[in-house]
Amino acid sequence: MGRKLDPTTYVKKGPGRKSRKQKGAETELAKFLTDGERNKLQEAMGQESDDDDDDKGKSGDEDMDEDDTVQANIDEMDKFVLPGAEEIAKEGVLLVDLQTIHQRIKDNVDVLSHFATKREEGKERTEYLSLLKKDLSTYYSYNNFLIDKLLDIFPVSELIDFLEANEIQRPVTIRTNTLKTRRRDLAQALINRGVNLDPLGKWSKVGLVIFDSSVPIGATPEYLAGHYMLQGASSFLPVMALSPQEGETVLDMSSAPGGKTTYMAQLMRNTGVIVANDASADRLKSVVGNIHRLGVTNSMICNYDGRQFPKVMGGFDRVLLDAPCSGTGVISKDPAVKTSKDESDILRLAHLQKELILAAIDSVNAESPSGGYLVYCTCSIMVEENEWVVDYALKKRNVKLVQTGLDFGKEGFTRFKERRFHPSLKLSRRFYPHSHNMDGFFVAKLKKFSNTVPTTAVDKGKVDVILDLINHNALSSVVETPLVLYKTNILLLSLFQTEKRKPSHLSQLCHRRPQPTGSQPKASVRNQPGRKRQRSLRWMVGL
């Protein structure tokens, strides 16, 4: 083998063959010259040698200068520079290579991660973030609203991992139906049919992950016989957190398509009662089909709006609420979420979720000897649909957060932007596709400790002032607007509800303020200004 040369190392070489040949000829010539002529020849040879050394020194300096220039140019090229307004305007008209945008995203993230040392002189962080949002929306096909929301949840570097994970399908997972078979026997039967699989993980005793299969995994004889259920790994988590016990009465408030209901049935070994409810009659068909296929015999199906369920039935030992959500945790399954959601969708869903969680809590029996638990979960990662909703429930009902019993997952937020949530929300768990290789999910477990509904605290000092004004017939001089009048009524009604007293002197509050002195009353009392407003105020306060 030849000697390996380092191209970055300069190796000084000796004289070439031509130089050696010329030097040998001069040596032979010197033999035939006189001493004087020989000295002159040697002086001439020495002069040429000095000139050659000078030339080599100059060329060496020039090479070093050239190398320094090249290195400086490389460093300049490596430094990320924000594009100007003209470049951005051109990108809005011309098609831009996605590879170029992807490289710019990586460079931008690197600068934002080391902003103090790598930022361009005179540029603010907001300028880099603005460009990053635009590039992320273009490259990953998200709307601006969702990118802004995700940047509030994740650090910049982690956001890229989350977006990349959403471009990849999650592994196919199945849940063994232990009412009919064991996981070991099921795995062997599927392997014999050409299915490549492994246990899901140490955290699950019934899950299997499918890598590839020579047969349709949803049409094998084992599937048709009800030996397993096609179910995402994240859907195992709320049932494991709820941990229903044998002989209990359990409510699955939003049960379709039946994966969680049938999992609860196998944990309860077909004992007790499971009420599988869903607001959609069409979706309940899949629940019925799965219950029959998997051999579940302790479940009953009903079709009610979950918000009205406490009026229908109550006293459950445990309740599972998988609330309707925006689906921002399952974008890999439904890419339409990237562009179809906006602020109004999130707020509308959050309002529905707050109503559902209060109804679910009211359906739980706090005096249950073995239960009194509620598990709230969503396949969304939005704080407005998760921590915000649970924090609302903690304020409105006599419940507290407890450990979910799940050994992995990230803690829920206790503070988000300017909002501060209850410190116990760190007991809730978040799951992400880039961290846990499963759909994005949120799980919180609550324990109900009283069946009474707490009333809103009332400032009795303010009430005493108002009552004193009423007793001295001086309230009309204080109440200036209908809004103040309405708020006063609500304040007093809250007090009367708390102390269970009859609101005997609220009628004075709803009287219209007297006309100023000197004004002429209308001919008809019915047409007096403010008469309609008084009636609406009486209706609002229940008089």
> pLDDT digit string (tens) for 358-394?
999 999 999 999 989 999 999 999 999 999 999 999 9
Q: Select from 321, 323, 295 the least CA-distant residue to 241.
A: 321
Lowest mean pLDDT among 261-275, 397-411, 461-475: 461-475
Residues in the chain: 543
pLDDT beyond 70 at 9: no
Domain extent listing, the chain: 24-78, 172-230, 233-448, 460-514+529-541
Q: Select from 492, 518, 519 the least CA-distant residue to 506.
A: 492
pLDDT beyond 70 at 81: no
CATH superfamily, domain at 172-230: Sun protein; domain 3 (3.30.70.1170)
pLDDT beyond 60 at 50: no
> pLDDT digit string (tens) for 127-157?
889 999 999 999 999 999 999 999 999 999 8
Mean pLDDT taken over the chain = 80
Taking the C-alpha atoms of residue 111 and residue 452, their distance in angstroms, rounded to an integer, is 55
Q: Select from 251, 182, 275, 167 the least CA-distant residue to 222.
A: 182
Taking the C-alpha atoms of residue 246 and residue 63, their distance in angstroms, rounded to an integer, is 84
> pLDDT digit string (tens) for 151-201?
999 999 899 999 999 999 999 999 999 999 999 999 999 999 999 999 998
Protein fold of 233-448: Rossmann fold (3.40.50)
Tokens 């002086």, located at residue: 43
Record the tokens describing residue 286, joined without a space. Answer: 């899949």
pLDDT at 19 (0 to 100): 55
Which of 415-419, 479-483, 532-536 has the highest average model confidence (pLDDT)? 415-419
Q: Is the pLDDT higher at 207 or at 43?
A: 207
Q: What are the binding residues for S-adenosyl-L-methionine? A: 254-260, 278, 305, 322
Query: CB–CB of 293/224 below 8 Å?
Result: yes
* Catalytic site positions: 379
Taking the C-alpha atoms of residue 259 and residue 243, their distance in angstroms, rounded to an integer, is 15
